[in-house]
Chain A
Amino acid sequence: EADIYQTPRYLVIGTGKKITLECSQTMGHDKMYWYQQDPGMELHLIHYSYGVNSTEKGDLSSESTVSRIRTEHFPLTLESARPSHTSQYLCASSESYFYNSPLHFGNGTRLTVT
């Protein structure tokens, strides 16, 4: 049973549309992450957060933005979607900042921009 939820699971939209990918966790974790993953490939960190009102950019440059108004909620927004944004987006959380702390992942949103 998942403790971290992502919606929608699949999204097909046209170029130029604004979209928000939702991510919620029920574990009370302070640290949350967004990763971008092309099918069957490695994960690239695009955003992360230490807690409420904290957001940081990851290693991979992204045109998306994030917000963290509540501990449990970490949505990702694309103001104007383009075909190059087509990918899978994975949300994750971890219990602590300690480098051994495992990540708990959602099942992802597969985004296709036509």
Chain B
Amino acid sequence: TQLLEQSPQFLSIQEGENLTVYCNSSSVFSSLQWYRQEPGEGPVLLVTVVTGGEVKKLKRLTFQFGDARKDSSLHITAAQPGDTGLYLCAGGSNTDKLIFGTGTRLQVFP
């Protein structure tokens, strides 16, 4: 069974701080997607990474796919209250279903 463990589970920081969220597995994935879910809404796709070692940037967010395609990280620079939400990674493989991670709940205080 493929599992994706995210850490930390909870993160509470002040505006302006930097943070990194991790998504780890013992399995190899063909792709990794990152979603953000705000309270009362469904998850929204942030990015998809498909190549080992790939780095993608989305404004203050930097996503990296591990060289062995078993892990990924999300780094946020100078966090803002608008970054508050649940961050979910999701791995794709040769099956037709995404495997979702355990989630990281981020709270950014002004």
Q: Do A and B bind each other?
A: yes
- In the complex, A41 has a CB within 8 A of chain B: yes
B97 is an interface residue with CB less than 8 A from chain A: yes
Do B33 and A102 have beta carbons less than 8 Å apart? yes
CB pair A42–B102 under 8 Å, yes or no, is yes
Cβ–Cβ contact A92 & B42, under 8 A: yes
Q: Are A40 and B41 in contact (CB under 8 A)?
A: no
Give Cα distance in the complex from A90 to B97, angstroms. Answer: 15
Closest to B4 in A: A42
The reply to whether A97 and B96 contact each other, CB–CB distance below 8 Å, is yes
Interchain pairs with CB closer than 8 A, number: 57
B48, A90: Cβ atoms closer than 8 Å: no
Interface majority SS on A: helix, strand, loop or mixed?
loop
Residues of chain A at interface, number, CB under 8 A: 23
Q: CB-CB < 8 A to A58: which residues of B? A: 97
Given contacts A42-B88, A97-B96, contact A108 B103 (CB under 8 A): no
Chain B residue numbers with a CB within 8 Å of A42 are 88, 100-103
With a cutoff of 8 Å between Cβ atoms, the chain B residues found around residue A90 in the complex are 42-43
A108 to B41: give the CA distance in the assembly, Å.
7
Closest 10 CB pairs of A and B: A105-B42, A99-B92, A102-B45, A43-B100, A100-B31, A42-B102, A42-B103, A107-B41, A105-B43, A107-B42
* Between-chain CB contacts (< 8 Å), 14 pairs: A4-B42, A41-B102, A42-B88, A42-B102, A43-B43, A43-B100, A58-B97, A59-B97, A90-B43, A99-B94, A99-B98, A103-B35, A103-B90, A103-B98
Chain A positions near chain B (C-beta within 8 angstroms): 4, 31, 35, 40-43, 45, 48, 58-59, 90, 92, 97, 99-100, 102-108
